[in-house]
Amino acid sequence: MQVLVVFAHPRADSFNRAMADRAIKGLQDAGHTVHFLDLYALGFTGAMSFEERTAYHSDDPILDPLVREHAALAQVCEMFVFIYPTWWSGLPAILKGWLERVMVPGVGFRFNSKGKVRPGLSHVRRLVGISTYGSPWRYVKPVNDNGRRTIMRTIRINTGWWTRRTWLGLYALDTTTPEERADFLDRVEEKMRSL
């Protein structure tokens, strides 16, 4: 299976990068072909430009060659894996911007003849989210875990209700022990190997 791994953390020495490395290892061990997008390392611009917003509903809404490459991958990969830290109860801005700039009409969704929105990613068979949180789960739950909702619900609307979902979250990262972090990395790798 072709897998698109989208990684959003500015530091190459972060625990999130360790999660990405272990996820990729598990996916490759399972025989998947992995396409890794490190948004910060690629210098991805998270903000949609005026020109892009103007072109959004045109026949060619993607103006940036890098965004075009990412959209092409999204249109062929059957599994999406998003790895990021939860900041301010949501996605890092660069990842939110990636969704806004890549999942444009014709990629993330389409309009039918009556102007109704229809899924554009119906070939995607699985969505995976892997995230760290500074807060414990009991604090995250009441604020709705917006990043998780975006990946597990909103993107799923664009893939179809039959798309399988997997969520792996490490809560209260700042107070976890080295053993707990190591166990979580093992869990990430094992879960990706089983997909």
Q: What is the DSSP string of 9-44?
A: -S-TTSHHHHHHHHHHHHHHHTT-EEEEEETTTTT-
pLDDT in tens, the chain (195 residues): 999 999 999 999 999 999 999 999 999 999 999 999 999 999 999 999 999 999 998 999 999 999 999 999 999 999 999 999 999 989 999 999 999 999 999 999 998 889 888 999 999 999 999 999 887 677 777 778 899 999 999 999 999 989 999 999 999 999 999 999 999 999 999 999 999
Q: Using CA atoms, how far apart are residues 7 and 98, in angstroms rounded to an integer?
A: 11
| Global confidence as pTM | 0.95
Q: Using CA atoms, how far apart are residues 151 and 61, in angstroms rounded to an integer?
A: 22
What's the CATH class of domain 2-20+32-173? alpha beta
Count CA within 13 A, CB hemisphere, residue 41.
11
